Structure 1
Amino acid sequence: MSTPASTAKRSGSAAVAAGPTAAERLTSLMPVLALAVLVVALAAADPDFLRRSSLMAVVDAAAPLAVLAAGATLVVLCGGIDLSIAALASLSSVLLALWLPGLDALAWPAVVAVAAVAGALQGAAHVFLRIPSFIVTLGGMSVFSSIALVVSGAATVPVVDDTSIRWGFSRVLGTVPSAAVVAVVVVAVLALIVKVTPLDSSIKATGYSEAAARLAGIPVDLVKIGAFCVSGACAGLAAVLLVARTFSGGPTLADSLLLPAVAAIVIGGTAITGGHGGVWRTVVGALVVTLLRVGLSIVGVSAAYESILYGAIIVVAVALTLDRSKVLVVK
């Protein structure tokens, strides 16, 4: 005789373990196709785009965005959303600039650790106070922005000596941007940890059906808090890459990356309702978003139209990836 828990476990496992449908396979290919089309279009508009220097500039520009969005992808896979990543990255940039003179090489690990704790606290508030992640991180965004303004005196904080973070803005083998290498390593480590541990099924089961995941014995609360913790740590690391590039920290340094990060996640094919997607897809989405920005400048479109483009992209991408079987009523 089957129990509710065993039934939930079988249904949850089947949802995660079942092979992708034809629609899901097509959706997973769309980001790669979009990336290829953009490369061809930009090469046609500007033949110099295919030069090594131009391509390296693109991946270099995409690196902080990819790191920022990769961490937030785990939260989305769990069925939540983290709107505070950009504000937390801005706050982290200010803390890094302030702490570098005293902590030197320990400054950037300390900043990443503080950002991870901030993310975990938001996850704990979401889980234990049962507040929607949208509300928790919206409040967190306001809190982090305000703290950044207070501790920085509402001004840019210059970095006098960037020796200990110079690895974030240099060249590997004289050609490859170090920031791109860092982004690839971060995403690879996240993907590997998720794949070789039970986290893959736990995260996706939580996003697919939280109630079924709980009945199956999955520690849903810990999974969610862990996802927010990783999201915070990635926001801190993205701040390190930004400070290494700009030689300063600022209370609004990363604020403009929120929409592009969300766009990168959904363009990569991660369902906003959770349970389907992956961090590698987000990297493709980050490259697409960066190429769109480059394309606008090449064709002479003002940067003021970027937010319009990102907004439209998010709506279209969500429409294509939304699992409507989980959303019986749209509010």
Structure 2
Amino acid sequence: MSTPVLTKPALDAPVRGGPTLGSRLTSFMPVIALAALVVALAVADPGFLTERSLTAVINTAAPLAVLATGATLVVLCGGIDLSIAALASLSSVFLALWLPTLGGLSTLAVVGVAAAIGALQGTLHVVLRIPSFIVTLGGMSVFAAIALVVSSAGTVPVTDDTAISWANLYVAGRVPTAVVVAVVLVAVLALLIKVTPLDSYIKATGFSEAAARLGGVPVDAVKIGAFAVSGACAGLAAVLLVARNYSGSPTVADSLLLPAVAAIVVGGTAITGGHGSLWRTLAGALVVTLLRVGLSTVGVSSAYEQILYGAIIIVAVALTLDRSKVLVIK
């Protein structure tokens, strides 16, 4: 008897089921949280709603949004990438070292190398059948060590930033280029996914990998591709960070791991995969950035940020977790 092949409608069936009240709430959660934070900050500090303050907030959120966008694809496939911050730090060191010799090509080189590293992690995950958590946890340690060795455990200054000065410009004199890069990145990826079979492939893989394989979905290729995009986004985030700091550092992006994960789950992407949105991750990045601004506005020490991010992740996962896919909690 031949193996039944699921058609595209069959692949979409788990995803297109009637939305539950919980899914509706999680869809609007980042927007509601974003609006509430803006109102709260405006009340606490009437000067917050000035153009200068708002521009500073979105400019600060841009590298985080880029980093979280790539990792969202991995989460949608049912995995997780814990190496994004360490890879971004390593990429910043590479960029600072390569700028004097490669000039304008250094940005493409860094993004390309980071994408290749991400693809390598994805390949190890699917070929060796090692959980993505373990592969990227190991990758995080390896990348951090390489960054320390290559940079001699110090900051690598950028003496000539001409090749990356575009990242510090303003479009129409008002909107930071970094923000435009983040929005365009999300728009391009979202459009590419929507107009191709990738939408069904990614969601089917995240919803049920076994069913997706039976349905003819190239699961391994989809997951490797997601890791490659995640790596490329880490490299691009590094470019934005180097342009802002005028240097590369083996720890420059290390503090962005928890905020990136928080942005993903606050955006309503289920940590179990199969449900989420790149646009909502963008909103989640703004929420996380506004929370940081809000803490300083009300006089709370930045030392409490990690506590807040941890609490946010736990609550957001509790709200978005698809418990039908987790039969045993370990």
For the criterion TM > 0.5, the same-fold answer is yes
Corresponding residue for residue 127 of structure 1: 126
TM superposition shift of 1:61: 0.3
Structure 1 pair 215–157 and aligned structure 2 pair: CA distance change class (3 A) = same
1:17 Cα deviation (Å)? 2.8
- State the 1:16 CA deviation: 2.0
Q: For residues 33-70 of structure 1, give each alpha carbon's deviation from its aligned partner in whole angstroms, at most 9, with x where no partner exists.
A: 01000000000000100001100110000000000000
Please state whether the residue corresponding to 1:17 is helix, strand or coil: coil
Q: Which residue of 1 aligns with 2:59?
A: 60
**3-state SS of paired residue (2:104):** helix
- Counterpart amino acid of 2:217? I
Hey, what's the Cα distance between the residues in 2 that align with 1:5 and 1:283? Answer: 39
Contact 1:154-1:251 at 8 Å conserved across structures: yes
Structure 1 position 9, deviation (Å): 6.9
* Contact kept? 1:116, 1:236, Cα under 8 Å: yes
1:254-300: CA deviation from partner (whole Å, max 9, x where unpaired): 00000000000000000000000011110000000000000000000
**Aligned-partner residue type, residue 162 of structure 2:** T
Report the equivalent of 1:165. Answer: 164
1:202 matched residue in structure 2: 201
Cα distance in 1 for partners of 2:8, 2:214 equals: 7
The answer for the alignment partner of 2:281 in structure 1 is: 282
Q: Would the alpha carbon gap of residues 126 and 8 (structure 1) be closer, same or farther in structure 2, given more than 3 Å must change?
A: farther
Look up the equivalent residue of 2:263 and give its one-letter code. A
The residue identity in structure 1 corresponding to 2:308 is: L
Residue 86 (structure 2) aligns with: 87
Q: Is the 8 A contact 1:88 1:115 kept in 2?
A: yes
Residue of structure 2 in register with 1:75 after alignment: 74
CA contact (8 A) 1:12 1:209 kept: no
Task: Please name the residue that 2:319 is paired with.
Answer: 320
Quick check: 1:81–1:134 contact (8 Å CA) kept in 2? yes
Asked if the contact 2:164–2:239 (Cα under 8 Å) also holds between the matched residues in 1, the reply is yes
**Counterpart for residue 232 of structure 2:** 233
Per-residue CA shift, 1:172-211, capped at 9, x if unaligned? 1111111000000111111010000000010000000000
Matches within 5 A, 1:180-199: 180-199=179-198
SS in 1 for 2:129: coil
* 1:218 aligned residue: 217
**CA–CA distance in structure 2, aligned partners of residues 186 and 9 of structure 1:** 27
Show the counterpart of 2:294: 295
* Residue in structure 1 matched with residue 20 of structure 2 by the alignment: 21
**Percentage of pairs with the same residue:** 76
> Which residue pairs with 2:247 in the alignment?
248
CA distance in 2, matches of 1:24, 1:64: 28
Displacement of 1:22 after TM fit?
2.6
The aligned amino acid for 2:201 is S
**Equivalent pair of 1:80/1:274 in contact (CA under 8 Å):** yes
What secondary structure sits across from 1:230 in the alignment? helix
The AA in structure 1 aligned to 2:261 is V
Determine the structure 2 residue equivalent to 1:50. Answer: 49
Of 37-46 and 170-179, more deviation after overlay is shown by 170-179
Q: CA deviation at 1:119?
A: 0.1
Contact 1:9–1:212 (CA<8 Å) still a contact in 2?
no
Are 1:9 and 1:215, in contact at CA under 8 Å, matched by a contact in 2? no
Partner deviation per Cα, 1:8-36 (whole Å, 9 max, x = no partner): 97654211233422321111111110100
Change (3 A) 1:8 1:324: farther
Aligned residues: 330
Q: 1: CA distance between counterparts of 2:213 and 2:7?
A: 9
Question: What SS does the aligned partner of 1:80 have?
Answer: coil
* Secondary structure, counterpart of 1:5 in structure 2: coil
TM-superposition CA deviations, 1:210-258 (whole Å, max 9, x none): 0000000000000000000000000000000000000000000000000
Structure 2 residue 133 is matched with structure 1 residue 117: no
What's the TM-score, normalizing by structure 1? 0.98
Matched to 1:138, the amino acid is L
Q: 1: CA distance between counterparts of 2:7 and 2:181?
A: 40
1:113-145: CA deviations, max 9, x gaps?
Answer: 000000000000000000000000000000100
Contact 2:55/2:175 (8 A) holds in 1? yes
Describe the superposition over 1:91-128 as per-residue Cα deviations: whole angstroms up to 9, x where unpaired.
00000000000000000100000000000000000000
